[in-house]
Amino acid sequence: MPVLYVVVTVITIAANAGIAVADFARAKFVLANSAEVGLPPSWIPLLGALKAAGAAGLALGLLGGRTIGIAAAAGLVLFFIGAIAAHVRARVFHNIAFPGGYLALAVASLVLAVVR
């Protein structure tokens, strides 16, 4: 298993697991950002669950479930494209780098999972 794939995927897992925990804890920055982009607070637990599922799927991919890892990475790519779209729709650009960073990690994990 290529080292770059493992390193990037572990970082992606940690980042998504961390933000999922923040979603579940209803951290102030999560609530503020969600309100700013017009996301109902009731959606936050579901979005946290999707991020956690993506992290878990990536972990399974590292443990040998290549197809699951690829599907999880693809799901996270779609998720964060949606997050960026929500920021653009709401014209909230001052913190768009955050979903952009998560998107970059998800894309890198997807590409590396496919080519390994």
Q: In the prediction, which pLDDT does 62 show? A: 96
Show the low-confidence residues of the chain (pLDDT under 50).
Answer: none
Q: In the prediction, which pLDDT does 7 show? A: 98
Cα–Cα nearest to 52, from 81, 32, 37, 72: 72
Contacting residues for 2 by C-beta, under 8 A, at least 6 apart:
112, 116
CB 16 within 8 A of CB 102: yes
Residue-wise burial string across 64-88, b where 16 or more C-beta atoms lie within 10 A, e elsewhere: eeeebbbbbbbbbbebbeebeebbe
Q: In the prediction, which pLDDT does 1 show? A: 73
Q: In the prediction, which pLDDT does 55 show? A: 98
Considering the entire predicted model, what is its pTM? Answer: 0.95
Q: Domain count of the chain? A: 1
pLDDT in tens, 55-72: 999 999 999 999 999 999
Q: Residue 60's domain spans which residues?
A: 3-115
Q: In the prediction, which pLDDT does 75 show? A: 98
Token pair, residue 53, equals: 């599922």
